[in-house]
Amino acid sequence: MLWTTLRLWLVRHLFRETGLARPAGRLRLRLGGTVILAVIVFAGGAATVLLSRSPGRAPGHRGAAVSSAVSPGAVSPGAVSPGGVGPAAVARAAAARWVEQQVSRAAIVGCDPAMCAALQAGGFPSADLLPLTPAAASPLGSTVIVATSALRSLFGPRLAGVYAPVVLASFGSGAALVDVRAYAAGSVPGYRAALAADLAARRTAGRQLLANSRIAATAAVRRDLADGRVDSRLLITFSALAAAHYLRIVAVAGPAPGANAEMPLRAAELAIPRGAPHPGAYLDSVLAFLRAQRTPFLASGLHVTGAGAGAILRIEFSAPTPLGLLGQRAPS
């Protein structure tokens, strides 16, 4: 009875209100109750969002486009950092640019005063920066810690052992090294357990997506899906889109520089499915659906390169990846 009710709800709301083409035959959802809830989250309020939201920024949203030539680990040239052009300043500038491009604007970033100045100069909101000094050394409440030599001296082994155990990206080396780290709310053992559970859920979800006849993927993408390397927001997005579209996933972005191996890959590229009769209409429908989403399923970057049947759509989500999205259950 539950699945029948959910299926009818999806047909009436997901496809009618978001403008997606209604699939022929019986709706099949491949990831069971876990992703059924995610699809409901996608569809709930989508009509209101689609009609009312302008193309401007939403909370935690970077804007309308991220160049498909830039991977989540890439840093554009021209980042400016206070403090000259020595190795430490260069690493600070590169880290600041990466944070500005990749970290959610909903995040609170812990940093030493010089790093905070570089982040603010790069455009990160000052209200979202948490300066850390010997007089105010608690990173409690932060989402990300940008660890320079000053913070490594301040925290010592507590930096990785108590506060921020995993690296999202790193720049420079030696005394100039700057690590962008995910803060472990609660405790490091609890965070690592949640990360391991998230990896297992991503692996299961990725393998189930590979069994979906509506999804085609390159050999490299298939390996990443099977290994659980793909961000859960992308997995849920693929599942939701595949309810009404054929998908052709041609790439998943590589890791950020210096990131720990368990960090999920947060960007992917979709090509127009082979033989699609109306490539432009297909792309418009997919983009309309993606732009209608809410946090955490609102992509931080959507960018199209090429045209017609050769168009490529890049979808990117911000860092850090929220854990546990695939562990939600459908309401009873």
217-230 pLDDT per residue, tens: 999 999 999 999 99
How many CB atoms neighbour CB 260 within 10 A? 16
Q: What are phi and psi of 22, to 5 degrees?
A: -75, 130
Dihedral, CA atoms, 236, 239, 244, 249, nearest 10 degrees? 100
Contact 285, 201 (CB under 8 A): no
Whether 275 and 208 map to the same domain: the answer is: yes
Same domain, 268 and 293: yes
Pairing of strands 144-147, 178-182: antiparallel
pLDDT in tens, 114-127: 999 999 998 999 99
> What are the φ/ψ torsions at residue 57 (nearest 5 degrees)?
-75, 145
Q: Is residue 7 part of a domain?
A: no
On the CB side of 94, CA atoms within 13 Å amount to 24
Asked if 34 and 156 sit in the same domain, the reply is no
Last residue of one domain, picked from the residues 170, 185, 200: 185
Last residue of a domain, one of 185, 204, 219: 185
Question: Using CA atoms, how far apart are residues 195 and 198, in angstroms rounded to an integer?
Answer: 5
Place of tokens 């009618």: 16
| Contact criterion met (CB below 8 Å) for 140 and 178 | no
Domain of residue 103: give its range: 87-185
Spatial contact of 267 and 230, defined as CB atoms under 8 Å apart: no
Q: Could you tell me if residue 113 is inside a domain?
A: yes
- Predicted confidence (pLDDT) at residue 182 exceeds the cutoff of 50: yes
The mean-pLDDT minimum among 5-19, 286-300, 308-322 falls in: 5-19
**Would 27 be classed as within a structural domain?**
yes
Distance CA 204, CA 8 (A): 26
Residue 65 domain-assigned?
no
pLDDT of residue 328: 57
Whether residue 267 sits in one domain with residue 206? yes
Answer whether residue 76 is part of any domain. Answer: no
Q: What is the mean pLDDT of residues 13-24?
A: 40
Select from 199, 256, 196 the least CA-distant residue to 232.
199
Do residue 323 and residue 203 come from a single domain?
A: yes
Q: Are residues 142 and 240 in the same domain?
A: no
Residues 6+ away with beta carbon under 8 Å from 75:
94, 97, 98, 101, 171
Rounded-to-integer distance, Cα 302 and Cα 118, Å: 26
Asked whether 18 and 48 are in contact (CB, 8 A), the reply is no
Look-up of token digits 């000259």: 84
Residue 78 confidence (pLDDT) above 80: no
| Whether residues 310 and 214 fall in one domain | yes
Regarding whether 258 and 151 lie in a shared domain, the answer is: no
**Range with the poorest average pLDDT among 20-34, 111-125, 185-199, 249-263:** 20-34
Among 185, 207, 235, residue at a domain's last position: 185
Pick from 139, 311, 11: which is nearest to 3 by CA?
11
Q: How far apart are CA 165 and CA 160, in angstroms?
A: 4
pTM for the structure as a whole: 0.76
Rounded CA-CA distance 71/257 in Å is 10
* 209 in the same domain as 178: no
Domain tally, the chain: 2
pLDDT at 6 over 80: no
| Residues 149 and 257 occupy one common structural domain | no
The answer on 180 and 200 residing in a single domain is no
Same domain, 212 and 174: no
Q: What is the CA radius of gyration of the chain?
A: 21
Query: According to the model, what pLDDT value does residue 206 have?
Result: 98
